[in-house]
Amino acid sequence: MTLKETRENLDAKRAAVQAVFDEAGPDRDFTKVKSLEGDTKAKVEKLDQLIKAMDEAKIEYDKLTALDSAAKRARDLGTTIGKEPDGAVKVADKPVLKSLGDAFVESKAHKNKHVEMDVPGLNLKTLMEAAAGWDPANVRQDRVSLYPAQALGVLDYIPMGNYQGDLYKFMLESTFTNNAAAASEGGIYGDEAPAYTETSHEVENIAVWRRVTDEQLEDNAGLSELINARLTYMLKAKLEGYVLTGSGTTPQIWGANNLASVQSQAKGSYSTPDAIHLGITKVRVSAFAEPSVIFFHPNDWQDIRLLTTADGIYIFGSPIDVGPSRIWGVPVCQTTFQTENQAMVGAFRDHCTLFFRQGIRFKVTDSHDTYFIAGKQAIRADMRAVSVYFRETAFCKVTGI
């Protein structure tokens, strides 16, 4: 096949694969696919064959493209490089005399592996090599490869606000009875008797510091920015962990998994998706709330992502797809801050807010201990925040998954 024919073949294969995915839609519903015949399993197998055919067409096209590029390079080299009889090298019509090294390599002495030289002051008895102390000079690159750290993302699902006190107080309606009823003329109306309880949460402090010498800050460009970025990450990472698993005992803020009235659903003999749905239902029925996100440890979500039907079809999408980041219509956030083997189903959007008394701030001083006379600096970073869960029953932990 010619280069043009291989390109046309590749385009046809690519269009066939794309047509199947377009018909299946974002939910990958293969019952909607009309361009392939058979049941879902047969359609998936045929799609796999189309993808393999597309990959093979791409390989053939790449081979001919590489040959075409090689031919062009050969033509270019043939027209731009030649050798003159006198030994000079001609490059683009500009003669360049051979270097001493080139002349030596082509000399008879080198070809015979015998060199006779008489250079005063040069001791040829010691072999010049790296082991003798002649290592090439290498400049360290600017890149800093950071130690692996947990990815952030929990706070993307948590409403945030500002608060200027050190104790967040609000009134919680602790008792509610709907005594409204149909009333006859002159009859006694139902008496509504609500009860309210003052509830409070402490604003807590999260802090970290690092020591560094004056010379390091002065001599290493970008070091202060690196330190600030690393300290900032440490505070945010710790805050994300506390929002999910904090004990609520000073100095830790409350985490959804440890709320006093958080609901719980055990997996037991249910499948994990079924147990998650039971947790969602508990939030809807007991708290009259709608879950906004479900937090999974990546290892637990992997078990769901790999679920297959009896005939081997992946329930949560083909391996060639990213797959849905939701279950039962509720968005999923994978995070290692969530306790493993336990998912958190929560109405965070409507019934939780993370309030900041003070955002991240940095302070630098040389007044600590003997730092002033030792030429050292202490860099401190801290933040003050409180997590408030206005309706604790709007959160349910699903255990044993």
R_g of the chain, CA atoms, integer Å = 35
The CA distance from 40 to 33, in Å, is 9
Q: Where among 57, 80, 103 does a domain terminate?
A: 80
Q: N- to C-terminal Cα distance for the chain? A: 55
Task: Give domain status of residue 107, yes or no.
Answer: no
Same domain, 207 and 62: no
Same domain, 76 and 173: no
* pLDDT at 392 exceeding the cut of 50: yes
Same domain, 198 and 328: yes
For residue 92, the model assigns a pLDDT of 46
Q: Which is more confident, 159 or 146?
A: 159
Q: What is the domain extent for residue 70?
A: 3-80
Same domain, 60 and 159: no
Task: Give domain status of residue 380, yes or no.
Answer: yes
The CA distance from 20 to 35, in Å, is 7
Q: Where among 80, 109, 144 does a domain terminate?
A: 80
Least confident of 67-81, 235-249, 262-276, 290-304: 67-81
Q: Where among 51, 80, 109 does a domain terminate?
A: 80
What pTM, to 2 d.p., does this model score?
0.65
Task: Give domain status of residue 230, yes or no.
Answer: yes
Look up the CATH number of the domain holding residue 233.
3.30.2400.10
Task: Give domain status of residue 126, yes or no.
Answer: no
Cα distances (Å, whole numbers) of residue 4 to 53, 62, 63, 64, 295:
18, 12, 13, 10, 51
3-state SS assignment for residue 37: coil
At position 246, the amino acid (one-letter code) is G
Angle (CA) 149 154 250, round 5°: 90
* pLDDT at 87 exceeding the cut of 80: no
Same domain, 196 and 317: yes
The CA distance from 234 to 179, in Å, is 51
Same domain, 71 and 158: no
* pLDDT at 311 exceeding the cut of 60: yes
Query: Which range, 87-96, 122-131, 346-355, has the best average confidence (pLDDT)?
Result: 346-355
Same domain, 207 and 312: yes
* pLDDT at 166 exceeding the cut of 60: yes
* pLDDT at 122 exceeding the cut of 80: no
For residue 84, the model assigns a pLDDT of 47
The CA distance from 35 to 288, in Å, is 45
Task: Give domain status of residue 121, yes or no.
Answer: no
* pLDDT at 260 exceeding the cut of 80: yes
Q: Evaluate whether 258 touches 342 at the Cβ level (below 8 Å).
A: no
Among all chains, which residue has been given the structure tokens 């018909």? 23
Task: Give domain status of residue 105, yes or no.
Answer: no
Same domain, 158 and 56: no
Question: pLDDT of 185-229, one tens digit each?
Answer: 888 888 877 889 999 999 999 999 999 999 998 888 888 888 999
| Domains contained in the chain, number | 2
Same domain, 159 and 278: yes
Tokens standing for residue 161? 């606000």
Task: Give domain status of residue 109, yes or no.
Answer: no
Task: Give domain status of residue 261, yes or no.
Answer: yes
